[in-house]
Amino acid sequence: MQIILEQIGRRFNREWIFKKIDYSFKSGQSYAILGINGSGKSTLLQMISGALTPSAGTLSYSLNHKEIAVEQVFQQLSIAAPYLELIEEFTLTEVLDFHFNFKTRLNNLTNKDLIDLLNMDSSKNKQLKHFSSGMKQRVKLILALCADTPLLLLDEPTSNLDDQGIKWYKDLVAQFTANRLVIVCSNQAHEYEFCTHHLLISNYKN
């Protein structure tokens, strides 16, 4: 998977959030998009995912040297982000079944495997609306990390996680990100310490 950004910019009304970003992301590499809260990290990630269009510039995608239309990029990615909601009327088992109707399971992981990774066997038949915020965040991360996609997008991945949850996240990243293109939006070092490339939003302001 390769993503190329050419002179990318996004503005809100007349104010530019960022502009003139020239950058490329490649499979097997990990990238951190860094900046203070409100700097535009999530906006850039949503543009990379195809959910937002740039106000200026172009994005191009390719997989195995074949171009991918932006409308089809969603098939190649999985994402975990605070602004993405889970279907709270579903039980944990129903959420897993529903999600993996649309995504292939990484390493043929079964629902039992995933529930074991979550350490939530006692909650497998509980509706998500009864989960704590930390439990919901773990579910989001499992859904993203354990989908067999070449592109993995993580926005503030340890939101609502305690110290034990942060360690769990790090273990999951070590286990399930090999050979993938991983992009993390963060301003907390423990979330992106494994990333070998850093893109600072502040470099692309006025």
Is a pLDDT exceeding 70 seen at residue 206? no
Question: How open is the CA angle 190-173-10, to the nearest 5 degrees?
Answer: 70
The string of pLDDT tens digits covering residues 111-132 is 999 999 999 999 999 999 999 9
The C-alpha atoms of residue 19 and residue 33 are separated, in whole angstroms, by 14
Question: Torsion over CA of 120, 122, 126 and 130, rounded to 10 degrees?
Answer: -70
For residue 105, the model assigns a pLDDT of 97
205, pLDDT greater than 90: no
| Average confidence score pLDDT of the chain | 96
Please state the domain extents for the chain.
30-41+74-204
- CATH architecture for segment(s) 30-41+74-204: 3-Layer(aba) Sandwich (3.40)
Q: Quote the CA–CA distance of 141 and 169 in Å, as a whole number.
A: 8
Q: What b-and-e string marks burial along 62-96, b requiring 16 or more CB atoms within 10 Å of the CB? A: ebeeeebeeeebeebbbbbbeeeebeeebbbbbbb
Mean per-residue pLDDT for 5-31? 95
State yes or no: pLDDT of 100 exceeds 70: yes
Average pLDDT over residues 146-158: 98
